[in-house]
């Protein structure tokens, strides 16, 4: 159902873009708009991961520079039967994470130092399993396409007021209406697709990690932490808010048309439902051990409870 819904919304966004081009410039305008969209998609297809990582000043880590964090991702990738993605750490206090890349063979996952400092090992595993869920579901490519088309609609609308058809006349009231309505409609569709993919990644993350309650616990902590801490990248480029596991910009709660993510409480409730349906699921109380940030940030480790289950022990 998520795939069908995403496909329908993506088709609606594409149709909206082509309709705007036709309204402003007839068939010629539609063709020009389509060429622009194709060019932008080709560029972002090959370069989106580089752009996203560069704007976050992310630094790549490996088994030597961040053995625990890298090891968590490696074990999860093995469980998900995915190629090992590149692993990055972003020196940012807001606790968050994201995935990028055009396909599983060119994927990258990143977590902020803020996230690594406040979550325990199982919770970090739950979050990174969520991000690998995006990779497995190819959400990184879908969301890149969506952002590109939505951006093209906004760009075309910005020029719409100055656009004149082949007869030298302005597009008229219908064109003016399209100029104002199309970007708003594109934003609604873009956010709807983003919300759909987050629920799918939560389910995939629960399956990959085997610990849906750890992911639920992480979401609760991340929601509180993100609400208290600024995200300079999201503030500078609001469109990046949809990248993260928790919105980079706080816009209030609830599943509504104007949110890039589902309500965190609803996501937690869904993960609890998934946990109840899973055999031998972990205890509702997550372990108390804290993963080292391994990011040149001091971290205090709490003692591990002897009864805590940890399927992600390092070899």
Instruction: Report whether 57 belongs to an annotated binding site.
Output: no
Q: For residue 130, give the nearest of 243, 6, 253 by alpha carbon.
A: 243
In three-state secondary structure terms, 287 is coil
Instruction: Report whether 56 belongs to an annotated binding site.
Output: no
In three-state secondary structure terms, 108 is strand
User: H helices of the chain, where?
Assistant: 2-55, 67-80, 113-118, 121-136, 139-160, 172-209, 212-228, 232-236, 264-277
151: exposed, middle or buried (Cβ count in 10 Å: 0-12, 13-18, 19+):
middle
244: exposed, middle or buried (Cβ count in 10 Å: 0-12, 13-18, 19+):
buried
Q: How many CB atoms lie within 10 A of CB 70?
A: 18
Q: For residue 281, give the nearest of 203, 222, 207 by alpha carbon.
A: 207
Q: How many CB atoms lie within 10 A of CB 24?
A: 29
Sorted by sequence, the CB contacts under 8 Å of residue 35 that are 6+ apart come out as none
Instruction: Report whether 134 belongs to an annotated binding site.
Output: yes
Handedness of CA 209, 210, 214, 215 (dihedral sign): positive
Tokens of 44: 């972002």
Which residue is catalytic, options 60, 68, 75, 131?
131
Q: Is 123 a residue of the active site? A: no
Q: Which residues are annotated as a binding site?
A: 130, 134, 198
Catalytic center residues? 131
Write out the binding residues for Zn(2+).
130, 134, 198
């Amino acid at each position: 159902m998520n795939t069908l819904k995403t496909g329908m919304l993506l088709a609606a966004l594409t149709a909206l873009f082509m309709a705007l081009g036709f309204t402003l410039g007839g068939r010629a305008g539609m063709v020009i708009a389509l060429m622009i969209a194709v060019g932008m998609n080709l560029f972002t297809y090959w370069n989106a991961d580089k752009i996203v990582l560069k704007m976050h000043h992310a630094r790549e880590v490996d088994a030597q520079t961040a053995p625990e964090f890298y090891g968590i991702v490696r074990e999860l990738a093995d469980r998900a039967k995915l190629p090992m993605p590149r692993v990055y750490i972003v020196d940012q206090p807001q606790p968050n994470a994201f995935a990028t890349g055009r396909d599983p063979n060119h994927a990258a996952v990143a977590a902020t130092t803020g996230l690594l400092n406040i979550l325990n090992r199982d919770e970090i595993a739950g979050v990174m399993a969520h991000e690998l869920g995006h990779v497995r579901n190819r959400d990184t490519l879908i969301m890149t396409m969506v952002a590109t088309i939505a951006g093209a609609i906004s760009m075309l609308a910005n020029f719409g007021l100055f656009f004149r058809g082949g007869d030298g006349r302005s597009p008229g009231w219908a064109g003016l209406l399209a100029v104002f309505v199309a970007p708003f409609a594109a934003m609604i569709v873009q956010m709807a697709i983003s919300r759909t993919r987050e629920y799918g990644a939560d389910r995939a993350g629960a399956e990959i990690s085997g610990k849906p309650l750890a992911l639920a616990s992480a979401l609760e902590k991340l929601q509180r932490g993100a609400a208290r801490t600024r995200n300079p990248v999201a503030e500078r480029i609001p469109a990046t808010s949809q990248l993260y596991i928790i919105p980079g910009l706080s816009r209030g709660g609830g599943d509504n048309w104007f949110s890039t993510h589902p309500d965190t409480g609803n996501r937690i409730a869904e993960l609890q439902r998934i946990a109840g349906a899973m055999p031998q699921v972990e205890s509702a109380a997550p372990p108390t051990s804290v993963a080292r940030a391994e990011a040149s940030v001091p971290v205090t480790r709490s003692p591990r409870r002897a009864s805590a289950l940890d399927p992600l022990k390092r070899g």
